Amino acid sequence: MIPGSFDYHRPTTVEGAVALLQKLGEDALPLAGGHSLIPMMKTRLAAPDHLVDLGAVEGLRQIDHVGNEVIIGAMVTQHAVIHSSQLADLVPLMRETALVIADPQIRYKGTIGGNCANGDPGNDMPALMQCLNARYTLTGLSGTREVAARDFYFGAYDTALEPGEILVSVSIPVPPLGHGYGYEKLKRKVGDYATAAAAVVITIEGGTCTSASIGLTNVSETPLWAQEAAQILLGTTLDEATVAKAVAAAEAITNPASDMRGPSEYRTKMAGIMLRRALERAKTRAKG
């Protein structure tokens, strides 16, 4: 289908973008890479009267290492993530995840900010950001505030963003040297959303798991941080019985829809399998 008519705006500053969104109100939507919004407009699931394109806004395409954090501008593309040597060294799980998002054409335009901000439960970055304990910097007319990724998602397309606010950057604590990591994603074909996916970050010292974090993609109406499952792993050698218990705890918090990707029960079990595979990969990579 063809989208409805709309007015197009292209501000060059964050302040200008925020001012436009406030002025235009509920009839305006911000546009980043467009790979979530434009398809919704084509099917008339979204019909904004105004689009505020963030593509020319200064300062949103930077990747900075500040102290013990990596700060990623909202307009950084998945392609840029994949080819950033800095991210590959500091947060390699980001590159691993970006490589299985959609296809190369979409990764050239799709952005970190758009993937994280719109609240689509099928997007890969939100669960990853919860796993990495990331924080989102949001800017509106009243100023700038930070919201943890783990507190940002309320439901499908329902987030902590206030009217007129935009997500301007993502801050990620750099995982310890020698950490283990893995992102495993089951999908029907190249370019598809996950049937189920799991992100894992662990550290191991003396053969014992000393920290663990788990995120799950597209098995609920929000991304999931599997806190209880991660806690089960702590202080263990990640033996088979412990992993099985953690997988069961992770499966227990899922509530996927039955859809073209399979019935709910199947998708829950696939979440467990993806978690098991991600843990195996993370354990192999961890240098305790």
Q: Return the residue matching tokens 């300062």.
A: 59
Of 153, 158, 184, the C-alpha closest to 272 is 184
**Domains located in the chain, CATH noted:** 7-53 (3.30.43.10), 63-173 (3.30.465.10), 182-285 (3.30.390.50)
State the Cα–Cα distance between residues 74 and 63, nearest whole angstrom: 10
State the Cα–Cα distance between residues 126 and 148, nearest whole angstrom: 11
The DSSP letter of residue 26 is: G
**pLDDT, one tens digit for every residue, the chain (288 residues):** 678 899 999 999 999 999 999 999 888 889 898 877 887 788 887 888 899 999 999 899 999 999 999 999 999 999 999 999 999 999 999 999 999 998 888 899 999 999 999 999 999 999 999 999 999 999 999 999 999 999 999 999 999 999 999 999 999 999 999 999 999 999 999 889 999 999 999 999 999 999 999 999 999 999 999 999 999 999 999 999 999 999 999 999 999 999 999 999 999 999 999 999 999 999 999 986
- Any alpha helices (H) in 165-239, and if so which ranges? 227-233
Calculate the CA dihedral of residues 50, 41, 185, 132 and round it to 10 degrees. Answer: 20
The total number of residues written for the chain in this structure: 288
State the Cα–Cα distance between residues 198 and 208, nearest whole angstrom: 21
How many Cβ atoms are within 10 Å of 228's Cβ, its own excluded? 13
